[in-house]
Amino acid sequence: MANTAKINKRWFYLGTGVFAMLFSGVLYAWSILKIPFKEVFDWSDSSLAFNFTLTMCFFCLGAFFGSLICKKIGPKITLIIAGVLVGIGFVVTGLLNADLLYLLYFSYAILAGTGIGISYNVVVSTVAAWFPDKKGLCSGCLMMGFGVSTLLLGNLISMFFENESIGWSKTYIALGIILAIVLILAGIILKRPSQDTALPAPKQRKSVSKESFEARDFSTKEMLKSFTFWRAFVCMAFITAVGNSVISFARDLVISVDAAPALATTLVGVLSVFNGFGRILTGAVYDALGRRRTMIAANILTIVAAGMTLLAVQINSLPVCIIGLCLTGMSYGSCPTVTSAFTSSFYGQKYFSTNYSLTNFNLIVAAFIASFSNSLLISSGSYISPFVMLLILAVAALGLNVTIKRP
């Protein structure tokens, strides 16, 4: 009975994890969060794009160091540290003035990015440990929470920005306080299963039998020596770069095809809805069809998404652009779910936290590609050049994808 109660509690932990990820995902609402810096301080698009690139770098570094810290002091204190970093980061961002662009990089990218990276890794690895039988579903639910944040919080943030009695500064400060509280509470609640907890074993499915292999825990060093890892790493980086690029300029992209600013803000939220939907759908598909089919399907979806958005820009069509955004959201949402489930399935659970954080370094590569996309946009004055490049990368990813085999 005691063990059954422990197992049943895993759904409560999953719910807590989703709630924490929901607030942490506000980091991805950058196309909305950057508005006051562009309008009030007149900071350049390239400066703000670099901030997002830097944020992704420190998000990945935070995830890596979070995994190491969590091993030594456990998830509770690690999440409390993350909450403090994020809280300070957003509060300081809310106190910026026009002369302090470098401080934006420090407060938002370094402090908040690192803190959310830490929380992301700790929440995913802690909750995933309770679901060896439902890796894809667990990852999908957590990533869904992270993905829909922009829709649920983005429009609210935009509304507060436009409210003269509140404004952008107070909004950032309030966000910092709320994020700190949510992550600290998650740290107090979440626990890893004890060694005597008998969790359900994963079910063998006929659909994945062709790629089944003896489960084994790979150390981080062993994983990095695996050519399979590097093929998957580059493949995921190229796929992620499409979504990363679109997220960094999503609002401006929609406005460029004649959408009203209010509609553009809403459509950024729609992008995040499909991001979240893609995450949970990919988790379910992964459990049902296996790694190979799921990754190839996600890759093909990315190619279609990039092609559709390119077409929308060429013919200046808002409806086609909306379809492109929805498909991009779904393809981008598939990436973290596949990354988490792939790392766990191929390289085991024992070193999952560190292995997963290193696999997530593909986001750094994707962030720099996104930065280059913004540079292409600025230099060419058109979205056509960046999307041609992204489409080529998505096709190249498919070439790598079909060669990925078991380690």
**Could you count the other beta carbons within 10 Å of the beta carbon of residue 212?**
12
Q: Is the pLDDT score of 64 beyond 90?
A: no
**Residue 247 in contact with residue 371, Cβ under 8 Å?**
no
Over residues 259-293, the pLDDT tens digits come to 888 788 778 778 877 877 887 788 778 777 777 88
Asked if pLDDT for residue 27 goes beyond 70, the answer is: yes
d(CA 86, CA 55): 12
Neighbours of 195 (CB within 10 A): 5
Whole-angstrom distance, CA of residue 40 vs CA of residue 48: 13
- pLDDT, average across residues 363-375: 88
CA distances for 98 relative to 32, 42, 243, 363, 405, angstroms: 18, 8, 30, 29, 51
Residue 196 to residue 13: CA distance in whole angstroms: 18
> What span, in angstroms and rounded, lies between the C-alpha atoms of 283 and 94?
36
Q: What's the CATH class of domain 2-193+210-401?
A: mainly alpha
Q: Which residues of 280-311 are buried (b: 16+ CB within 10 A; e: fewer)?
A: bbbbbbbbebbbbebbebbbebbbbbbbbbbe
Q: Give the pLDDT of residue 138.
A: 80
Record the tokens describing residue 240, joined without a space.
């992620």
Please give the residue that has the higher pLDDT: either 209 or 191: 191
| Token pair of 21 as six digits | 């990820």
Average pLDDT over residues 196-207: 63
pLDDT above 70 coverage of the chain, percent: 94
Residue 283 · residue 147 · CB < 8 Å: no
Give the SS3 label for residue 76.
helix
- The model carries a pTM of 0.76
Helix, strand, coil percent values for the chain (each to nearest 5): 80, 0, 20
- Which of the 8 DSSP states describes residue 349? S
pLDDT at residue number 136: 66
Q: Closest by alpha carbon to 161, among 176, 174, 177? A: 174
Give the tens place of pLDDT for each residue, 162-179. 888 899 999 999 999 999
